[in-house]
Chains A and B, each alone.
Chain A
Amino acid sequence: MSEAQTPAGPPVVSLKKINIRYGNHHAVRDVSLDIARGEVVAMVGPSGAGKSTLLRAINMLETPSSGTLHVGDFTFSLDHRLSQKELLALRRSTGMVFQQFNLFPHMTVEKNISLPQMRVLGRSRAEADKVTARLLERVHLADKAKAYPARLSGGQQQRIAIARALALDPKVMLFDEPTSALDPELGLDVLEVMRELAADGMTMIVVTHEIAFAAEVADRVIVMADGEIIEQGPPDQVIRNPQLPRTQKFFRAILDRH
C-alpha cells in the first residue's frame, strides 16, 4: 500500500477544476485531484462538505457544471452534456458502493451479481455465475448465493454490494460511507473485505468517518470542507499532525467521539 506512494504511469482518476452546483449552492468548488493506480484514498470532512457530491461526480451520478473528468481510458470535458454512450462507458469503468447497499430486493444474491455482468459486459449466464461464485468466496459469503437480500444482515448485504460492483472489473471502486448504516461489529467484516481489496491493489476512493481505517489502509487522506479540498497527504501527516486549525478541530471532534 505504501508502495503506491510513488505512483508509476498516468492516473486512473483525474479531476480537473470540477464544479458542482445545486441551484445557487456551490457544493463542489474547482476541485482537482489525481489518483494513481492502486492508490487508496480516504476522503473525510464535516457533513455537507461535498464529499458524496464529489464522489458521485466521478461516475456522473451528479452532473458537474464544468471541469474535466478522466477515468481509466476515458477523458470527458464536462462543459457539454455527455452522450448516453459516454456515460455508460464511464460507469463501466467505475464501481460504486452506497451507504444503503441498494441491493435489488427482488433478486437472489447470485442474480444481483450475475445480472449486471450479463447485461453490461455481455457475459453468458454460465460465465457470470462462475465469476459470481468466485467473488462470493472473496467476500466470505459463498453460502448465500440463493438467498434474497432481505434475509441477510446489513454487513452481509454490503459485502454483496461490493461483490456486485467488483464483478464488472472496474478500474476504480468508489465507496460512500460503506459502514455508516451498520452496527460497529457488522461494519468490521465490511472493512476487512475492503482491506483485502486494497491489499490486492484495487484503486479505491473511500468517503468515511472511520478514521482508524483511514489511518491504517489509506495511502492518502483528503480533507474536504465547504466544497474544497483543504488539506491532503499521507495519513500519518494529515491525521496525526494536521496543519490547518479547521482540520485539527475536525479530527479532534472525531477522536473525542471514540
Chain B
Amino acid sequence: MTGVFLALLKGVPVALAVTGLAFLIGAVLGIPLVLMRRARSWLPRLIARIYIDVMRGIPPVVWLFIIFFGLGSGIIALSPFRAAVLGMGLISAAYLAEIYRGGFLTLPAGQNAAAVALGLTRLDTLRYVLAPQVLRVSVAPMATFLVSLLKDTTVASTIGVRDVMMLVTQQAQAAGGGFAPFIAAAVLYILLSIPVAVLARTMDARMRGRIAA
C-alpha cells in the first residue's frame, strides 16, 4: 500500500499544475465574461450566457476529447497536458464568472450609486469600489471550486496526461485488479484538498473581519 501511495505521488506535480493553471486561466477569463454578463447591451450578455451554459453543460471528459482530438489533431497540435489545461481553463472561466456574478449581487446598490455620484468613471468604480468587494465575498466559493476542480482534472488522464489518475490505472492493471491503488488515490486527493480548504477559510475570515462590524 505504501509503495502504491509513493508511486502515485509522482503524478501529483502534474495534477497540481493542470489544476493551478486551469484555475488561473479561469480566474482571468472569468473577468471579461462576468463583465459581458452584466453589460447593458444584450449582445455581450447573450454571448456570455451561451458560453457559460454550454461550458457548464458539457461533461469535462467530453470537452477534453473535443479539444484534444478535434482541435488538437486538426488545427493546432496540442500536447495532452496543454489540451487539459486549456480545456479545464475554459470550463473554469464559466464557473468563476458565475461566482463573480454572485459576488456582484451581494453588493448593496448604494455602493455603485455612491461611486457614480462622486464622479468616478465606470472603470474606476469597478476597479476601486466594486471589484475589491466582489473579490472578498468570492474567496470562499472560489476555494470550493478549486477543490472540485482538483478532483475534476482527474479526467485529464483520459487524454493521456500522466497525472495521479493515470498512475492509479497503471498500478491497478499491474496489480491485477486490486483496489488498493484507488484507496491510495482517494487518500491522496483528500490530503491535497485539505490545505486549500484551510487556506480558504483563513483568507475568508481575514477579509470579512475587516469589513464586518
Instruction: Point out residues on A near B: beta carbons under 8 Å.
Output: 59, 61, 84, 88, 91-92, 94-96, 98, 100-106, 115-116, 119-120, 148, 150-151, 161, 164-165, 168
Question: A120 contacts which of B111, B120, B129, B136 (Cβ < 8 Å)?
Answer: B120
Q: What count of chain B residues pass the 8 Å CB interface test?
A: 23
Question: In chain B, residues 33-85, which have Cβ atoms closer than 8 Å to a Cβ of chain A?
Answer: none
Which residues of A sit under 8 angstroms from B212, Cβ to Cβ?
150
Q: B213 and A151: CB pair below 8 A?
A: yes
Q: Which residues of A contact B118 (CB under 8 A)?
A: 91, 116, 120, 164-165, 168
Which among A91, A119, A120, A165 has the highest number of chain B CB atoms within 10 Å?
Answer: A119
Contacts A/B (CB < 8 Å), 29 sampled: A61-B113, A61-B117, A88-B119, A91-B116, A91-B117, A98-B110, A100-B110, A101-B110, A102-B108, A102-B113, A104-B111, A105-B211, A106-B132, A106-B133, A106-B136, A106-B211, A116-B118, A116-B119, A116-B120, A119-B121, A119-B124, A120-B118, A150-B212, A150-B213, A151-B213, A161-B114, A164-B118, A165-B117, A168-B119
In the complex, A168 Cα to B111 Cα: how many Å? 18
Q: How far is the CA of A235 from the CA of B48 in the complex (A)?
A: 55
- B contacts with A: majority SS: helix
Q: Give the distance in Å from the alpha carbon of A115 to the alpha carbon of B108 in the complex.
A: 20
User: In the assembled complex, which residues on chain A have CB atoms less than 8 Å from the CB atom of B121?
Assistant: 84, 88, 119
**Residues of chain A lying within 8 A (CB to CB) of residue B129:** 104
Interchain nearest-CB distance for A52 vs B (Å):
11
**Chain B 103-136 interface 0/1 with A at a Cβ cutoff of 8 Å (1 = within):** 0000010110111111111101000110011001
Residue of B nearest to A148 (CB): B210
When distances are taken between beta carbons in the complex, the residues of chain B under 8 Å from A106 are: 132-133, 136, 210-211
Inter-chain CB contacts under 8 Å: number: 66
Residues of B within 8 A of A (CB): 108, 110-111, 113-122, 124, 128-129, 132-133, 136, 210-213
Q: Which residues of A contact B210 (CB under 8 A)?
A: 106, 148
Inter-chain contacts of A101 with B (CB < 8 A)? 110
Chain A: which residue is nearest B128 at the CB level?
Answer: A115
Residue from A95, A106, A120, A161 having most chain B Cβ neighbours under 10 A: A106
Contact A100 B108 (CB under 8 A): yes
Distance between Cα atoms of A2 and B2 in the complex (Å): 89
Contact A59 B117, beta carbon cutoff 8 Å? yes
Known: A115-B128, A148-B211. A102 touches B110 (CB 8 A): yes
Docked complex Cα distance between A148 and B115 (Å): 17
Residues of B within 8 A of A91 (CB): 116-119
Contacts of A119 in B (CB 8 A): 120-121, 124, 128
Closest B residue to A119 using CB positions: B124
Set of chain A residues within 8 Å of B120, measured between Cβ atoms: 116, 119-120
